[in-house]
Amino acid sequence: MRDADPVEARAALIAEARRVLGKFALVKPSISAGGVAAALETLSGRIYTGICLDLACGIGFCAEHAAVAEMLKARETAIRRIVAIDDEGVLAPCGRCRELIVQVDRRNLECEVVLPGDTSMRMADLLPRAWLEPLFARD
């Protein structure tokens, strides 16, 4: 997807997320997985996907976290673009996901985040004045 038209690249990434989307119950109907899916493309052009876990006691995690973990297993850290979806369409990443993405690699402040309404923004615009910037300056 590296050299693709941005609109086509976003559509292809959404299609990758759609491949793993699909809610299913775990130990009981209210404890589930797969209701949200994410896909990300790294600067190298590789695609990683993940699904959410909706568990009791707040121990679950977002689909973006799962996709980032898959990326890290391959020892990659820099994201070109990322998207999360559910059955109704594209979702904006929550604040926890935004922080995770930036803490993995500061270059991810420049990654494209696909948003609802056929739009996108840079992560830096969704997470202005990231609290880690002073820490980055120390490195």
13 is a domain residue? yes
Domain extent for 95: 6-138
1 is a domain residue? no
> Which H helix or E strand runs over 89?
strand 89-91
Determine the residue type at 125: D
57 is a domain residue? yes
Q: How many domains does the chain have?
A: 1
pLDDT band at 138 (very low <50, low <70, confident <90, very high): low
User: Is residue 85 within 8 Å of 34, Cβ to Cβ?
Assistant: no
pLDDT band at 27 (very low <50, low <70, confident <90, very high): very high
Structure confidence at residue 137 (pLDDT): 59
- Whether the pLDDT of residue 64 is over 70: the answer is yes
Q: Point out the least confidently predicted range of 51-55, 90-94, 127-131.
A: 127-131
Structure confidence at residue 128 (pLDDT): 82
pTM value is: 0.91
The domain that contains 27 carries what CATH number?
3.40.140.10
Q: Point out the least confidently predicted range of 45-54, 78-87, 124-133.
A: 124-133
- Whether the pLDDT of residue 40 is over 70: the answer is yes
Provide the 8-state DSSP code for 61: B
